[in-house]
Structure 1
Amino acid sequence: MKSQKLKMSFDPHTIEHLGIKMYSVLPNAIAELIANAYDAEARTVHVKLYNDNGNKRIAVIDDGVGMSFDEINNNFLRIGRKRRTDDDGLSPNGIRKVTGRKGLGKLAFFGIGDTIRITTCQNGQCVKFTLSWPELMSTNSQEYEPKFSIYKCDTKQNGTIIELDDLKRKSDFDKDDLAISLSKLFNFFDDTFKVYISYNEEGELLINNELKYQNLSPQIIWDFPNEDVKNEYLENHNVIGRILATEKPLKPGLRGITLFAHGRLVNAPEFFGVGESSHGYSYLTGWLNVDFIDELEEDVISTDRQSLSWDLPVTSELQANLKQLLSAIERDWRNKRKIERQKRISGKVQIDIKDWYGKLPSDVKSGVENIVNNVVENSELADDKQTEVVGMLHALIPEYANYHWRHMHSTVKDASYEDYKNADFYRAVEEAIKRYETIIQKVSGLKIDGQTLMGAVFGKNNAKLSVTSKYKRTDGSDFSESTKENIEDGQKFMSMGLMAGVRNPLAHEEKKELKTTDLFSEKDCLDILSLISHLFRRLDDAEKLD
């Protein structure tokens, strides 16, 4: 037993640079301990945070296979060990693809604490040893010999406990915040690998893959591969993932797409060179699994696992296709968001926006769509404000705007509306004229029709109806006889002209010829409907003469 000893070979300056400077951020350092547990085939990991009157410490406990004394010496304490070469990249029993690659993760301990106590058990033997940062840095040789002890334990007591003490951290722990941060560094949490986090042995919280997006409100989700945004290169490389767009813009730190390989972060959230001038990218977040990157012979993942080496041919091709994918998603987002907002607004104002567009004149439709799409739907106005704006716009420019703008008489609308909706403006005019003629016959009691009817009913001489007799000046006096006669004759001649110049041509000529030659256009029909509305208004005020 006395001949046994543990050794760590190192250059102290390398340890200082890689250990402290690279892993000084708490989530990244703890992530290394979680990754070690995963690679050791653990099914459950407990991250325990403690603060006893300012004395802060961390314990990470796993139920993995543990380490023998020789494995500690040859593997764990060997800095820079190429695990993929030594172990074929598999966990001890070959059930997992290991996440470790460079052999530097163990230095994470020293990034956050000066004293590391490790207890690891395997097959009835436990090894307990302590790594001290001050001792390590004060050694005069390139070998550091940590203190240790070996003792027997239950053969079922496999696993490893790593306790971090003498922490450099000044602020207190935030369990919930740390849980979310850790969830963003991994994508392999499931029923076969569970990680819990607690603070002072209270309120243990399960860390899972959904935690990273739990406070977001997804509006649109793309599970990749996706039929709407296909990318042959990514599909051929078995890239899978989920990208989502939120209802409101994300804070800058939450935007971007994270890349994972075998469940572990390899590239922090970004948009891979796509132009981010479109505000659509401020709504996008998500992740993609690019496992093939971790299986390349060449290591293209940075030491701190925050980025890939994008200047290599294989990664450049990946980046180009990711850029292409995100551009397609941004376009699809615009279309889907437009439809989604239209549904919400339509429901609130009870207007079928698509149907409304279809019933607008062509020279008005594009302007209305532009206002709704760009000013309303693409703005950051709240839904209630958007609804209010669309409601006001609809009131100003309703369906069949040309029809409404002429302020059609209610009787004209009743007679012609169905034909107007069907865009049969000629028939709409004919039906309105028929209704006008029928009502005049009923009011006057005359059985004649056409110009003869109009000449007999209206005018200054021998008329059956007067359209001016009920009107007085504001002082109670009569309007001049000439004014009243002119209006009476106007009603007569306009009504006769309606029969001669409108009804008769429409009855005797092909509508196609009238429309094609522009002899009697659809716009003329709209103008005539306005004229009939004026004549009806006069008729409403008419008094029967003896």
Structure 2
Amino acid sequence: MSDSPYKMQLDLRVLDHLGLHLYSNAAAVLSEAVANAWDADAKNVSIKIDKDRIVIEDDGVGMALNDINDRFLYVGYDKRQKEGAKSPGGRAFMGRKGIGKLALFSIADVVAVITTKGSEHHAFRMETKGIEAAVSRNEEYKPVPTNDEPPSKGTRIILTQLKKKRTSQTVNALRKRIARRFSIIGIKSENGDSFDVRINDLAIGPADREDFKAIEFLWEFEPSERIPAGFCPGLKKRFLLPNQISVIRPDWIVGGWLGAASRPKKLASEDAGLMNGLVVIARGRLIQENILDKLGFNMLLGNYLTGQIEANFLDVESEEDIATSDRQRLMEDDERYVALRDFLRKTLVSISDDWTKLRNEARGKEAVEETPILGEWIDNLPEGQRDAARRTLGVILGVELESEEDRKDLYRSGMLAFERLRLKDASHNLGNLPALTAESLLPLLADLSMLEGSMYRDIVRARLDVIVKFEDLVDVDAKEKVLQAHLFENLWLLDPGWERAAGSERIEQTLKRDYKDFAADLTDDESKGRLDIRYKTNAGEHIIVELKRAGRPMKLVELQEQGQKYRTALAKCLKAEGNENPLISIIFVLGSPVAEEEESYLPAGYVTNTLQPLNARVMYYDQLIKSARDAYAEYLDRSKQVDRIDKFLSKLK
């Protein structure tokens, strides 16, 4: 409508967004050059990189003058629309948007192009400053002709005035990253077509793919060409997966593979970057850098996953182009993308359980190889339980830990847990027997006794370690702080028989509320140097423990007076609870001896006998530690018969 008051204009500065500043790394930019060489039917591409320049040369069809002006310098030239879906050599075109050549300016300010097609030779230079000047004047940009020596065939591109931050990747890193961006490099097709890419004279191939080297388990979509086993030196098992993603659209099929690494850390390296993800390939070239992040898949397998999904249906001429401008991502609202995403999520869910089992079995074998005593333990289990035990060890080996000593502790805990579950299952099965006999019962009781013994010995050893550390404390104030922090939660320090001593918050709060002697705000004189006081119960016994300050001297009469008050108050409190004749014990923990114990004229045991009517006793900081040590050490000394389980656990130390 010529009389419309509206008009649209396109500022040439859009070039900045479409190419000059679209790419952020050299691997992506060089991939555009490699893709252009493929479209030009090149069989060989050479990339040479040194400190100040990059030279890209191919042996493709080259360009005549009309190719340069009407195609190469035509920003937005759609070769598929103008030339068809395939090159003269029968290759499916990778390019589509016609802006890939601008990517070169993302890493260099000067781009020289020298090309030969038949007998025609052309050479010219383009500079970022010149393009930007032409854009600012809204004029067409005219490259400068040069006299560079032309190749005998194909095209040579020379990049200079490199942007160092974007070209800082090493040659080795570029090799590895470009290798993951194409599925056609270094592999001959069925019709004999080959496409070789070299960087500094070394061919890029599957050996440059670090993801292949990390793979332990492999799933391939049928009927894709199978990855040679030699590419994956750590491969343990491989599987086939269905390739059709939609019943409604039978032409929507995928190829490629999914791989699970043995360790997440194997999917990251300084050169290859992060490989924990799934790249999507269309027409032999990357079209989505990582679709795994878009799947909403949060199971453990996701941390171990790498792979390449080949989905040519995403990039066909008859359908809308869904690639973003840099061809590194896809439009996420397109039905093809949605279908692929849902298919991949379901696929990962379907293989996750199998992978967990496979992984644990593989780690279990490794655990036995690394720690032979674990194998001895497994060999002593009933045959039907060995695989499950191996998987248990596999789970532990699969945990990422900083210290291998921590892993040994996990092995010990895992073995004990497995033995408990094993006995639980055995008990359950025993209860289902039609007739219980001594022959069926005695082995179970023997195993149960050994398990309990092993677990208790672990507890005793741990407690002895605590006691030894406490004994190493020389400073009285330090001992006082440690006791205050841990005594009331670990009454085994006072009496090894108090394994399950527990508190009653209700009764303790009642005592503190209704009886002054239990209050927390007493004066120092009123509390007689008291540091803390608690109420505990154990097997029907009601216990009051008072921890005195280490430096406060005490007299027997003071302890008698306080003990009687505590006893009377607690008895009243328990009577209100319905307990008429409670068994009450009182323990005073002191830092220094009672004054009367220093009096030589008093008979031995005077303090103990005087407090006996109150069922009260005195213990000293050092004495209680020594008593606990002696009691537990005696248990270990008398436990001379090392049982089956403890034999294995002790060798893990």
TM > 0.5: yes
Q: Which residue of 2 aligns with 1:197?
A: 199
Change (3 A) 1:167 1:373: closer
Aligned counterpart for 2:348 among listed residues 305, 308, 326: 326
Listed one character per residue, the Cα deviations across residues 370-425 of structure 1 (whole Å, up to 9, x for unaligned) are 95465x254235999868965896699789987xxxxxxxxxxxxxxxxx9xx9x9
- Confirm or deny: 8 A CA contact 2:260 2:306 kept in the other structure: yes
Q: What amino acid is the match of 1:314?
A: R
In structure 2, the partner of 1:267 is: 288
* Structure 2 counterpart of 1:68: 64
**Equivalent residue number for residue 225 of structure 2:** none
Aligned-pair CA distance for 1:359: 5.1
**What is the CA deviation profile of residues 256-306 of structure 1, one whole-angstrom value per residue up to 9, with x for unaligned ones?**
110000111110123154444433211111111111111152101111122
Task: State the match for 2:218 in structure 1.
Answer: 221
Question: Deviations along 1:187-226, whole A, 9 cap, x unmatched?
Answer: 210251111112xxxxx32222442326843221222238
Measured after TM superposition, the shift of residue 117 of structure 1 is: 0.9
**Contact 2:282-2:310 within 8 A present in 1 as well:** yes
Answering whether residue 294 of structure 2 is matched by residue 292 of structure 1, we say no
2:117 to 113, 122, 126: 122
- The reply to whether residue 379 of structure 1 matches residue 399 of structure 2 is yes
Q: How does 1:73-112 map to 2 (within 5 A)?
A: 73-91=69-87, 93-112=88-107
For residues 35 and 101 of structure 1, what CA distance do their matches in structure 2 show?
11
Structure 2 CA distance for partners of 1:95 and 1:230, relative to 1, 3 Å: closer
1:138 aligned residue: 133
Per-residue deviation at 1:522? 3.3
What does residue 43 of structure 2 align with? 43
Percent of paired sites with the same residue: 26
Whether 2:204 is the aligned partner of 1:207: answer yes
* Whole-angstrom CA distance in 2 between matches of 1:528 and 1:20: 78
Aligned residue among 522, 536, 542 for 2:440: 522
The secondary structure found in structure 2 opposite 1:265 is strand
1 CA distance for matches of 2:160 and 2:195? Answer: 26
Query: Secondary structure at the residue paired with 1:177?
Result: helix
1:259–1:269 Cα contact (<8 Å) kept: yes
Query: Is the 2:278–2:309 Cα contact (8 Å) retained in structure 1?
Result: yes
Say which SS state the counterpart of residue 57 (structure 2) adopts.
Answer: strand
In structure 2, relative to structure 1, the CA distance for the partners of 1:524 and 1:195 (3 Å cut) is closer
Q: Relative to structure 1, is the Cα distance of residues 50 and 152 closer, same or farther in structure 2, using a 3 angstrom cutoff?
A: closer
Q: What CA distance in whole angstroms lies between the structure 1 residues aligned with 2:439 and 2:89?
A: 82
1:350 to 362, 375, 399: 375
Distance 2:443 2:184 in 1: 70
Within-5 A mapping of 1:276-315: 276-295=297-316, 296-315=318-337
Please give the residue correspondences for 1:394-405 in structure 2 after superposition, counting only pairs within 5 Å: none
The equivalent of 1:237 in structure 2 is 252
Partner of 2:172: 176
Distance 1:373 1:116, change over 3 A: closer
Q: CA deviation at 1:148?
A: 2.5
Q: What residue identity is the alignment partner of 2:283?
A: H
Which residue in the other structure is 1:462 paired with?
A: none
SS of the aligned residue for 2:349 comes to helix
- Shift of residue 243 of structure 1? 1.9
Partner of 1:337: 359
Q: Structure 1's 165 and 319: CA in aligned 2 closer, same or farther, altered over 3 A?
A: same
Report if the CA contact (8 A) 2:275-2:306 is conserved. yes
Is 1:121–1:158's contact at 8 Å kept on the other side of the alignment? yes
8 Å contact from structure 1 (residues 45, 196) kept in 2: yes
Contact 1:345 1:387 in 2 (8 A): no
User: In 2, distance between residues paired with 1:182 and 1:239?
Assistant: 22
Asked whether the equivalents of residues 365 and 390 of structure 2 are also in contact (C-alpha less than 8 Å), the reply is no
Q: What displacement does 1:164 show? A: 1.1
The answer as to whether partners of 2:125 and 2:144 remain within 8 angstroms in 1 is yes
Bigger shift: 215-224 or 333-342? Answer: 215-224
Q: 2-side partners of 1:75 and 1:107: how far apart?
A: 13
Query: Which one-letter code corresponds to 2:59 in the other structure?
Result: D
State the Cα distance separating 1:344 from its structure 2 match.
Answer: 3.0
In structure 2, the CA distance between the partners of 1:345 and 1:258, relative to structure 1 (3 Å rule), is same
SS at match of 2:319: coil
1:316 maps to amino acid:
V
Counterparts in 2 of 1:116 and 1:369: CA distance versus 1, 3 Å: closer
Specify whether residues 358 and 81 from structure 1 end up closer, same or farther in structure 2 by C-alpha distance, changes over 3 A only.
same
Deviates more, 1:13-22 or 1:214-223: 214-223
Moved more, 346-355 or 26-35: 346-355
Q: Aligned pair in 2 of structure 1 residues 317, 392: CA closer, same or farther (>3 Å)?
A: closer
More displaced stretch, 277-286 vs 82-91: 277-286
Distance 2:212 2:338 in 1: 33
2-structure distance, mates of 1:354, 1:301: 57
Amino acid at match of 1:343: K
In the alignment, structure 2 segments of 5+ residues that lack a partner are: 1-9, 188-193, 223-237, 449-653
Q: CA deviation at 1:178?
A: 1.6
8 Å CA contact 2:77, 2:98 repeated in 1: yes
Cα distance in structure 1, aligned partners of 2:34 and 2:443: 78
1:16-45 per-residue CA deviation (whole Å, 9 max, x = no partner) reads 222222024222111111111111011111
Gaps of 5+ in 1: 1-9, 199-203, 403-419, 426-513, 531-546
Q: Secondary structure at the match of 2:290?
A: strand
Aligned residue for 1:81, secondary structure, equals coil
Q: What number of residue pairs does the alignment pair up?
A: 399
Q: Distance between the aligned counterparts of 1:320 and 1:101, measured in 2?
A: 26
Q: Distance in 1 between matches of 2:259 and 2:32?
A: 28
- Tell me: CA distance 1:215–1:72, structure 2 relative to 1, closer, same or farther (3 Å): same
* AA aligned opposite 1:148: P
SS state at 1:143 partner = coil
Secondary structure of the 1:144 match is coil
* Cα displacement (A) at 1:146: 1.8
Contact 1:220 1:246 (C-alpha < 8 Å) held by counterparts: yes
* 1:311-335 residue CA offsets vs partner (Å, 9 max, x unmatched): 1222211110011112223333212
Q: For residues 49 and 371 of structure 1, do their structure 2 counterparts lie closer, same or farther at Cα, with a shift above 3 Å needed?
A: closer
* Map 1:328-477 → 2, pairs under 5 A: 328-347=350-369, 348=372, 349-351=374-376, 353=378, 356=381, 358=383, 372=393, 374=395, 376-380=396-400
Distance 1:360 1:304, change over 3 A: closer
The normalised TM-score by structure 1 is: 0.63
Question: Residues 110 and 128 of structure 2 are in contact (CA less than 8 Å); yes or no, is this contact kept in structure 1?
Answer: yes
- Higher-RCO chain (CA-CA 8 Å, sequence separation at least 6): 1
Distance 1:232 1:355, change over 3 A: farther
- CA-based RMSD of the aligned residues comes to 4.1
| Paired residues of 1:231 and 1:321 also in contact (CA < 8 A) | no
Distance in 2, Cα, partners of 1:388 & 1:59: 57
Partner Cα separation in structure 2 for residue 60 and residue 43 of structure 1? 14
Distance 1:25 1:187 in 2: 20
